[in-house]
Structure 1
């Protein structure tokens, strides 16, 4: 499955410093932080030529194309076309409207069809339109369906009756290109050759459209009672029964919509534009992205404020706010790898690189920081600003201190015989702790005087320092050989693999407000609470074992960077796991799909959290910033729906109390997980009771099959386990019954049993009768024989 992600960068704006409280697409600053996702026929979209979009009552995105219909759940497309659904007479869907009873009325090249619950319906009362090309269709507030044709006039459908509007003879030989119902209930009708009318109270009113407009194609009545009409040559406003040219440079307008902030959007043959009516300004939203100079056919805003865009050649476009801001080096002409980040007191950002350079990031632009001192090609590992404003730069070419413009290079001296510096911090007393690659930790003063040294010779577990953290006057040191805790000049505690850590290689440490220490290791995350160590890895929910850093956001989530993206885990859930209250942790994964320009984190670097809660991190391509506040406000409410039950004989879309006929050998359940903000971030499990009692886990397959089920009553249960957002599992269930064949029914079995009993009884009676007959026969034979013997005896006696 291919998904094209487009990132809009923040050059020339300060949007990265102040996120919007809500998505306002028409605000230029906000629009530069949108995530644009393109879905095409490569993703199984019915066609790259998309006509119109709407969200259905059950949460799907319904997409009309020139090659049928696509139903989208955020992850997969289900396509309906003439080839698989004969009740859809044409694949060319020009328009649709959504009625109050949740029916979608389709305007097609061959008449009107209806869509409901994954099924296409044709009405007998609309078959007279089957050979008409239906261009426009509108559902008004009263339930009337208005139908505009190509050169066949205007119709309306009400109370199961189709009627023609006879009072508009002028449009008989014209194509209806505009059909719109405003908030007053007026029906606006426009044609390609420039006719414009509105119908109200059974009366037709003509509006003079200037000849230079060259046709009317779309309209909008906004929430401030303003009218906008889109033509081939400009946008017109309507007031006091008169049209006036509002925007001359917007031509070939296909659709007009209003977003929830009041911005008015124009979908045109040359891109997408937004009009700020308060400032009277026009924004070319498509200027710097995939929409530039593209034919935009329509635009739609759903209740989650996601913008959906229909294009003529580029498929379906989804636009939503991203929690990530990206600053790739290449857009400033830099071909280097970031290795460290400093958030300076003046609001600017310094970024050190593996190539010995430091760049200042300000308003989205990188500018090289001039340093006089030669660091001898040593990569920058850390940049720190102390309480007095002094800058300390840890590099593999020495420790550089910049104070009031003066630069001092420290290292390769008798006191500090090392120049591979990795980490520095300042303690409560104002002294500095410096970690190195080769010789452990040095404690120095502001004037560079050595106070203390910790290395393997005096108990440090390793001279290779990966991070140093300072909490409550304790120094927490992670190394290539475990963790060291230093207090008042002594190493008071050590943790390593032998004492319970996942591995000795510990990249970073974080101590939370509950005094729990979290260790990012090469083999997973370790939780340290006193002497108790609890480990988390791929075995119990992590996506990747190798974690380079750890930070907590303001909402109780831990963020763990990896080479394939960022992991997010709720700390509360990890704490519950200590007591074995859950089996697997929920771990969300963020990558390009969520707005990160480059998912690959730079190994052995650290996350940096700002005072306002943002988290800065290094990627191979540059610096990216996570704003958890935006993420927390994204109100994802996923739905889990069972779409159908399919047998070898029939597909059931109305999935309630289904009775299946006898003899069914094959059953297939199809389900959808609808989530457009966090698609794919869930796992599933199912069971079929009473056939199965244990849950069966599945990954991506949305179809589940069973064969040779016995007759009886069943319940199919599917459960979604979201990785983020929704805390509770989501369940969908379907009860159904497989009817028995006549020979499997209880009555048949009772009758059969009675029949068998009757046969046994009959056999018994026949056998008994036979025995009696034999006994009588034997008795008669005995009597005859006895009589013969008696006669013989008498004859002998007479002789």
Structure 2
């Protein structure tokens, strides 16, 4: 579906007096054919998508695009009433009709059909207990749970006080929390028995009708009544606590909590209210779209955004970390949130305090008019120190309103006080005339004030003074760089060694004790006492013009600049960018108009008002959630969670993916690589990649998403798949072809052998006939042994298999060539033996060692004599890697060639007739006057074969 651009609603800046700082909402238009849809529920699943249930069906939103989902086999839209994702990631959707569907891997919604059937009344909520059983509430039939085989029902017969269930959620202990017309019920199974604990107004609930239940992380739950307000319930002793402030805002539909900060309350017709845990009071979320709206649902996502569904605006979102204060006071130059939880700001027109008016609204009240305030500092004695531009230093007693002014005539080094800090010993003043100090804790309304000018700093223009956790003072100067004072010792830093800097404007410290400072043109630097770090545009900083630095309660460094705020995680060196999407439009912050309070919040003064940044206690995601949405083969979608192997002719893949960054989805970029195909990483903003005509092979698609364009530690998603090799290129086919060729050669050889044997049998004497029979017996025995070896080699190395077949062919060719001769050259016999040895070594590996030594060149021998002796040694001895068979062939000094092997007889001797040795002996009776000789000892076996002198040609 085409992207539906969201439009931004007005922040409450246009409303006049406000009840407090307010978030900035963006409003998201539903698709064109869904404009009449009313949103009933919103839910964030683990993948990061926002699922939206409406009276026209189910939508999925990734921050840019909406995707509709219809129930398979049901063309008519169904009214969604509940959405839930279980621990396995399966999405469950309940409808007003009682239908329940669950999502499959192909993104289709299939109707769930348990054996017992489904109710015919609305589904009002889902939950999952500690054993993975699925529970759901209904409006009319009580509560059901499914244990994987059967479905069971909790109703009034079991002790449930009512069967019209408004809400069902799983508690932190796995028990189900149920709200109905008769209070709050806790249901669970124990020992195979149904257990129910009921709480009513008599137990302290604010109302008997409970429409909203919210589990907290501290073992408690929050509940919202029909018109009695909210309460906090302990799951240990079921005690109930109610706020002291009375609730007067009507029916509560839903609740949302930000840990340790506040509870959001969605009402039936009075918009959204918040209950602040510290202030213990209610305040309205002011918006011209929510004022009298019916709030259908509230959602908190993993980025710190809050989502609202209402009858006035189907879908809206705001980043809860940011809030805005504005009632017409402009150009805020200094900001301070004091120890009494009071907000003070300074402007060119005076000093202001943010406080409650008689009508309950809050606004800035002018405290000291007509002064140009550029710095503020609070001390423990209730004195507010006010630095002015050109007008000196003011002391203001907050309890009495008394003021006192200090100027250059009182000893100040200069009347423009740009920054004030307190190290517990001294109050430090950074001015345009250097640094002055006074004793900390001095009573400006009773004590004599003595200003001391720090002459040793060597700088007149000092923009910032900062006292760190180790008691050191850091001064940002104009011209002298960064100056550090520690126990009287002064160190000056104006270069990292690789980069010089002269002017330092802002300084802060992170949780690890590193000092961070900004410069005029060089960007952001860190310093750990020995090593400098640098962040410029290439390192992810968006602007070199930095107006302020501060460290929040999570140890993150806020870098303030005209383009927005860059939130830096110092350990990961990761930036998150915030600007227009959170309300920082025409930001224009003032230099060092920034303050980090004791609660970890950061306050920023800007042209149009005050911005508050609350880092939230929740563990927020700092990266887009990356996922592969769909894989298509030749434009046909497949279930890629199950299918990852394709034939060679289905080698065109399209991969769709999402990077979910709901805060600012348009900034997301992707980096991907198809391992096995792409040589380099590819960076793109597209959400689909197409690979055509991929060659056979194994592939792995790897992708990550980044919201800041820097791919450092971002999570990845992968999809591995195989394009199968066609059968004619596979090893088994090549091996089978080679084997078929060998068998054909063998068949031809066998036919010829048999023919020759028949011819020779008629011509030769009995001994020659026996000799020929022996040779015919050798070949098939040896060949089939080698076929086994060849089969194994083909699978591992086709190239070696080819060489093996060549050696085998050479061996048989030599047999055919030599067997008809009475004598052959000794070198020819040795060549045949070496071919035979090659085949044996491939069969036995390191278990067989065959060596020849200094063989005479001019000698003859009976064909196959040495080969048969080698074969006999192999046949009758143990061969293994641990006990190798060693065969040596060498001449002696008496005209013999000796075949010697180490004797390691088999435990079960091979059946033998001794026919081979007898045949060789009988042949040599006809060929030589010398006879063969056999010597056997305990550890060796030797056969001496006479050498026959080669006749001259």
TM-score with structure 1 length normalisation? 0.62
- Rounded to whole Å, the distance in 2 between the matches of 1:537 and 1:512 is 19
The answer as to 2:389 corresponding to 1:396 is yes
Q: Which residue of the partner structure matches residue 181 of structure 1?
A: 143
Q: Which residue of the partner structure matches residue 358 of structure 1?
A: 352
Checking the alignment, whether the CA contact within 8 Å between 1:221 and 1:228 is kept in structure 2 is: no
Question: Cα gap change, 1:632/1:140 in structure 2, threshold over 3 Å: closer, same or farther?
Answer: closer
Q: Which residue of the partner structure matches residue 510 of structure 1?
A: 508
How many angstroms does 1:444 deviate by? 6.9
5 Å-filtered alignment, 1:58-69, equals 60-69=49-58
5 Å-filtered alignment, 1:136-535, equals 178=140, 180-181=142-143, 218=166, 228-229=179-180, 258-260=214-216, 261-265=220-224, 278=240, 284=250, 285=265, 286-287=271-272, 288-289=284-285, 290-297=289-296, 310-312=309-311, 314-316=313-315, 322-324=320-322, 326=323, 328-330=325-327, 334-344=328-338, 346-360=340-354, 365-371=362-368, 375=371, 379-385=372-378, 390-402=383-395, 407-411=403-407, 419-425=415-421, 430=426, 433-436=429-432, 439-442=433-436, 447=448, 451-452=452-453, 460=458, 463-470=460-467, 476-485=474-483, 493-496=491-494, 500-501=498-499, 503-510=501-508, 516-522=514-520, 523-528=522-527, 533-535=532-534
How many angstroms does 1:483 deviate by? 1.6
Per-residue Cα deviation, 1:17-49 (whole angstroms, up to 9, x for no partner)? xxxxxxxxxxxxxxx988876543279988752
Q: Which residue of the partner structure matches residue 67 of structure 2?
A: 79
Question: Cα gap change, 1:509/1:64 in structure 2, threshold over 3 Å: closer, same or farther?
Answer: closer
Per-residue Cα deviation, 1:209-232 (whole angstroms, up to 9, x for no partner)? 9xxxxxx795669979997556xx
How many angstroms does 1:701 deviate by? 3.5
SS of equivalent residue, structure 2 residue 548: coil
More moved, 402-411 vs 641-650: 402-411
5 Å-filtered alignment, 1:718-737, equals 718-720=703-705, 729-737=714-722
5 Å-filtered alignment, 1:10-89, equals 38-41=27-30, 48-54=37-43, 60-73=49-62, 75-81=63-69, 87-89=73-75
Per-residue Cα deviation, 1:553-595 (whole angstroms, up to 9, x for no partner)? 454432222234332323334xxxxxxxxxxx3112345656x
Question: Cα gap change, 1:55/1:527 in structure 2, threshold over 3 Å: closer, same or farther?
Answer: closer
Per-residue Cα deviation, 1:610-633 (whole angstroms, up to 9, x for no partner)? 3444333323343344444x3454
More moved, 399-408 vs 303-312: 303-312
5 Å-filtered alignment, 1:529-608, equals 533-553=532-552, 555-573=554-572, 585-591=573-579, 600=587, 602-608=589-595
Q: Which residue of the partner structure matches residue 659 of structure 1?
A: 645
SS of equivalent residue, structure 1 residue 538: coil
Checking the alignment, whether the CA contact within 8 Å between 1:644 and 1:654 is kept in structure 2 is: yes
- Rounded to whole Å, the distance in 1 between the matches of 2:110 and 2:78 is 16
Checking the alignment, whether the CA contact within 8 Å between 2:352 and 2:366 is kept in structure 1 is: yes
Per-residue Cα deviation, 1:119-140 (whole angstroms, up to 9, x for no partner)? 33667999xx9xxx99769999
- Rounded to whole Å, the distance in 1 between the matches of 2:402 and 2:691 is 76
Question: Cα gap change, 1:525/1:68 in structure 2, threshold over 3 Å: closer, same or farther?
Answer: same
Q: Which residue of the partner structure matches residue 717 of structure 1?
A: 702
Q: Which residue of the partner structure matches residue 658 of structure 2?
A: 672
Per-residue Cα deviation, 1:371-425 (whole angstroms, up to 9, x for no partner)? 38x54xxx21112346765544222241133376664544475977964442344
Checking the alignment, whether the CA contact within 8 Å between 2:125 and 2:168 is kept in structure 1 is: no
- Rounded to whole Å, the distance in 2 between the matches of 1:475 and 1:300 is 44
Checking the alignment, whether the CA contact within 8 Å between 1:520 and 1:547 is kept in structure 2 is: yes
5+ residue gaps, structure 1, are: 17-31, 149-175, 189-197, 210-215, 574-584, 756-799
Question: Cα gap change, 1:45/1:250 in structure 2, threshold over 3 Å: closer, same or farther?
Answer: farther
TM-score with structure 2 length normalisation? 0.54
- Rounded to whole Å, the distance in 1 between the matches of 2:516 and 2:161 is 71
Checking the alignment, whether the CA contact within 8 Å between 1:51 and 1:95 is kept in structure 2 is: yes
Q: Which residue of the partner structure matches residue 704 of structure 1?
A: 689
Checking the alignment, whether the CA contact within 8 Å between 1:510 and 1:551 is kept in structure 2 is: yes
- Rounded to whole Å, the distance in 1 between the matches of 2:496 and 2:46 is 57
5+ residue gaps, structure 2, are: 187-195, 234-239, 251-264, 266-270, 273-283, 741-953
5 Å-filtered alignment, 1:619-634, equals 619-628=606-615, 630-631=616-617, 633-634=619-620
* Aligned alpha-carbon RMSD (Å): 6.0
Per-residue Cα deviation, 1:754-789 (whole angstroms, up to 9, x for no partner)? 99xxxxxxxxxxxxxxxxxxxxxxxxxxxxxxxxxx
SS of equivalent residue, structure 1 residue 714: strand
Q: Which residue of the partner structure matches residue 2 of structure 1?
A: 6
Checking the alignment, whether the CA contact within 8 Å between 2:480 and 2:503 is kept in structure 1 is: yes
- Rounded to whole Å, the distance in 2 between the matches of 1:222 and 1:554 is 31
Question: Cα gap change, 1:34/1:199 in structure 2, threshold over 3 Å: closer, same or farther?
Answer: farther
SS of equivalent residue, structure 2 residue 571: helix
Checking the alignment, whether the CA contact within 8 Å between 1:136 and 1:177 is kept in structure 2 is: yes
